[in-house]
Amino acid sequence: MRARLEWIASPLLLLVLLGFWQWYVTAAHVSAFILPPPTAVWSGFVYLVGLKSTWVHVWVTIEETVAGFVLAAVAGVLIGVPVGKLRWLERTLNPFIIASQVVPKVALVPLFIVWFGFGSTSKIVVSAVIAFFPIFTNTVLGVKSIEAGHRDVMTSLNASRLARFTRLELPSAAPYILTGMEVGIVLAIIGCVVAQFLGGNAGLGYLLVAEMNAYQTDLLFAVILLLTLVGFAFYAAIGAARRVLIPWHSSGQAQP
Amino acid sequence: MSSIRLEGVRKQFESRAGAVVALAPTDLAIAEREMVVLLGPSGCGKTTLLRLIAGLIPPTEGRVQVAGRDLWTGDRRDPAAVADLGVVFQDANLFPWYTVERNIAMPLAMRGVGRAARQARARELAKMVGIAGFGQRWPRELSGGMRQRAAIARALSYEPSILLMDEPFGALDAMTRDTMNLELQRIWTETGCTIVLVTHSIGEAVFLADRIVLLSPRPGRIAHVATVDFPRPRGPEVQADPKFAALCADLRGRLDRM
Ligand SMILES: Nc1ncnc2c1ncn2[C@@H]1O[C@H](COP(=O)(O)OP(=O)(O)OP(=O)(O)O)[C@@H](O)[C@H]1O
Ligand SMILES: [Mg+2]
């Protein structure tokens, strides 16, 4: 009963919000440069989706985000596992980890553009750097949260290092790692788009700036909508990975 | 021949508050196919003693031998000596990411046994411990008693000659516990293994044991050894035997005086 209520309530709420938006814009005579009505945003969106160049921008954004995210995920897990296991390593690296966490990563974007140029590389690097930390910290946490009793089982079975890693450490940390990835993928898009703001001539971030400069506010909204959809798709992909990879975990189950 | 031998084994834990002697120098020999129960009040070192035998912690002094082999040389564990041991912990400690069947078969997979043979063995064991038909479930879908049965099946999968159990039924209600004790006796008879079991329960100790090792605390040491010679297999009716009650009362008295 409650599930059905949600199915009806969510779209209903959306309709109400859109209705209010439309009404407010017309009633208060808001300039379309400031806030175009939803109908204009929608037609802008339809126009944008019809352009071939839009899809190039979408594709570039997806490519750069995924490349950055994959780099971040591989590095986060590979560095996170030993740091979570070895106390001395964690103690040694801790000041550096905290320092690099505290630096607002977005402030590094101009630097990366200087280093890696206006092409895809700088965007990938920015995405990777921003997405790295949640994946890394969650991996460390996951490895540290392995139950002592489970470790005892492996010790009593004389498990090799490899068996420990594949049968205990990795699956045990998997829910944590996936949570880190869920945050990481969203940050990777942000990193990518911000880097596209500042440099280059491709990607949805570049398109945003271009529409802004052209005072095409309706298209600006349309690009935001497009970005949101891309974000949703990524987020859903991680959710699907959760169900496939950790069906045993309560977070991987379908909601009752 | 004795299957487990401890000579002058002492264990001291270093903690911030200073050193804790968990086990004073202890000698103990356990014969093959014997059922030995470690009994004692909380904190007297039962778990420590069992973990020493299991090779999970090294002794501070003394030597631990399993099937004639030294468990430790310096601070290295002899993998061949540990291969004879199966351990069942107080918590079932099943891996939640494996189905019950894969949990049971995991030690075999780690020993390179083929998939089909593994599955067949896991089914056979599941049946033996009374959880047939639950192989494809996740551990979280089982009751506490069923999880503990699966943990026993896992420990038995590679046919260890020695089974070490730390309060395996501690979390179960009295009725399930009685059933599990009967089952354990049957499994022990069927497999012919040596069992060292830790418990808080005097009745459980007297019902199961060939020999009861009573430990006293601060520092942990062997206070008394009682031999129990009721004929096997023992059924619930042993508990009505006056000798059973007398032995329980004697142990109760010794524990109270600690
Ligand atoms: N890792 C450890 N570090 C420090 N002290 C420990 C450690 N493990 C056990 N001890 C101490 O050793 C003593 C014996 O502990 P042990 O766990 O063997 O008792 P036990 O007989 O199993 O108790 P219980 O019946 O409550 O399980 C206790 O005083 C405990 O505080
Ligand atoms: Mg204990």
**Is B134's pLDDT higher than 80?**
yes
Is there a contact between A248 and B110 if contact means CB atoms under 8 Å apart?
A: no
Tokens of residue B61, six digits: 């002094």
Task: Evaluate whether residue B41 is within a structural domain.
Answer: yes
Domains identified in chain A and CATH numbers: 54-247 (1.10.3720.10)
Inter-chain CB proximity B79 and A158 less than 8 Å: yes
Higher pLDDT, B129 or B45: B45
Q: What percent of chain B has pLDDT over 90?
A: 55
The answer to whether residues B130 and B226 belong to one domain is no
Last residue of a domain, one of B109, B126, B159: B159
Region class of B55: left (phi > 0), else alpha (psi between -120 and 50), else beta:
left
Instruction: Say whether both B138 and B241 belong to one domain.
Output: no
Look at residue B17 and tell me if it is in a domain: no
C-alpha A112 – ligand 2 centre gap (Å):
56
Does any domain span residue B216? yes
The answer to whether residues B123 and B47 belong to one domain is no
Residues B205 and B250 in one domain: yes
| Domain-embedded: residue B200 | yes
Tell me which ligand sits closest to the C-alpha of residue B221: 1
- The per-residue pLDDT for A253 is 55
Which one-letter DSSP state was computed for residue A176? H
CB-CB neighbors (< 8 A) of B138 in chain A: 248
For A93-124, how does the pLDDT look when each residue is reduced to its tens digit (9 = 90+)?
889 888 888 888 888 889 999 999 888 999 99
Whether the per-residue pLDDT at A256 is higher than 50: the answer is no
- Residue A2 — pLDDT band, cuts 50, 70, 90? low
The percentage of residues in chain B with a pLDDT greater than 70, rounded to a whole number, is: 99
Residues in chain A, how many? 256
DSSP chain B: -EEEEEEEEEEEEEETTEEEEEEEEEEEEEETT-EEEEE-STTSSHHHHHHHHHTSS--SEEEEEETTEESEETTEE-HHHHTTEEEE-SS----TTS-HHHHHHHHHHHTT--HHHHHHHHHHHHHHTT-TT-TTS-GGGS-HHHHHHHHHHHHHTT--SEEEEESTTTTS-HHHHHHHHHHHHHHHHHHT-EEEEEES-HHHHHHH-SEEEEEETTTTEEEEEEE----SS--GGGGGSHHHHHHHHHHHHHHHT-
> Which of left, alpha, beta for B205 (phi over 0: left; psi -120 to 50: alpha)?
alpha
B165-206 pLDDT per residue, tens = 999 888 777 887 888 888 889 889 888 899 999 998 999 999
Residues B165, B152 share a domain = no
Q: Which are the contacts of B214, defined by CB distance < 8 A and separation ≥ 6?
A: B39, B40, B222, B223, B224, B225, B226, B251, B254, B255
Structure confidence at residue B17 (pLDDT): 85
Q: Give the CATH number of the domain where residue B258 resides.
A: 3.40.50.300
Final residue of a structural domain among B136, B159, B182: B159
Count of the separate structural domains present in chain B: 2
pLDDT band at A141 (very low <50, low <70, confident <90, very high): very high
Q: Specify whether B197 is located in the same domain as B154.
A: no
**B145 and B245 inside one domain:** no
Instruction: Write down the pLDDT at residue B218.
Output: 85
**Domain limits for position B139:** 94-159
| B97 → closest Cβ in A156, A159, A248 | A248
* Residues B135 and B177 reside in one and the same domain: no
Residue contact B138–A163, C-beta within 8 A:
no
Q: Tokens 């891996």 sit at which residue?
A: B95
Is B11 part of any domain? no
Residues B225 and B168 grouped into a single domain: yes
Q: Which two tokens stand for residue B3?
A: 């299957």
Assess if residue B114 is contained within a domain. yes
Residue A154 CA to ligand 2 center (angstroms) comes to 19
- pLDDT tens for A225-237 read 999 999 999 989 9
> Distance between CA B101 and CA B125 in Å, rounded?
9
Would you say the CB of residue B156 lies under 6 angstroms from ligand 1? Answer: no
| Confidence band, pLDDT 50/70/90 cuts, at residue B245 | very high
B48 lines ligand 1 (CB under 6 A): yes
Measured between beta carbons, the chain A residues lying within 8 angstroms of B79 are 158
Residue-level pLDDT at B169: 85
| Confidence check: pLDDT of B1 > 80 | no
Identify the pLDDT of residue A1. 54
- Is a pLDDT exceeding 90 seen at residue A136? yes
Is B229 domain-assigned?
Answer: yes
Supply the pLDDT for residue B77: 87
- Strand-pair partners of B10: B61
Inter-chain contact A249–B97, Cβ cutoff 8 Å?
A: yes
pLDDT of residue B145: 85
B236 and B188 in a common domain: yes
Is the confidence at residue A176, as pLDDT, over 90? yes
Claim to verify: residue B184 and residue B80 sit in the same structural domain: yes
Domain boundary among B159, B186, B206: B159
Q: What is the pLDDT of residue A255?
A: 43
In a domain, B132, yes or no: yes
pLDDT in tens, B80-93: 888 889 999 988 99
Of B38, B39, B44, best ligand 1 pocket probe by most atoms within 8 Å of the beta carbon: B44
How sure is the predictor about B67, in pLDDT bands with cuts at 50, 70 and 90? confident
- Nearest residue by C-alpha to atom 24 in ligand 1: B42
The reply to whether B44 and B108 lie within a common domain is: no
Q: Reading across the β-sheet that carries B18-31, which strands appear in turn?
A: B18-31, B2-15, B61-66, B69-70
**pTM of the entire predicted model:** 0.81
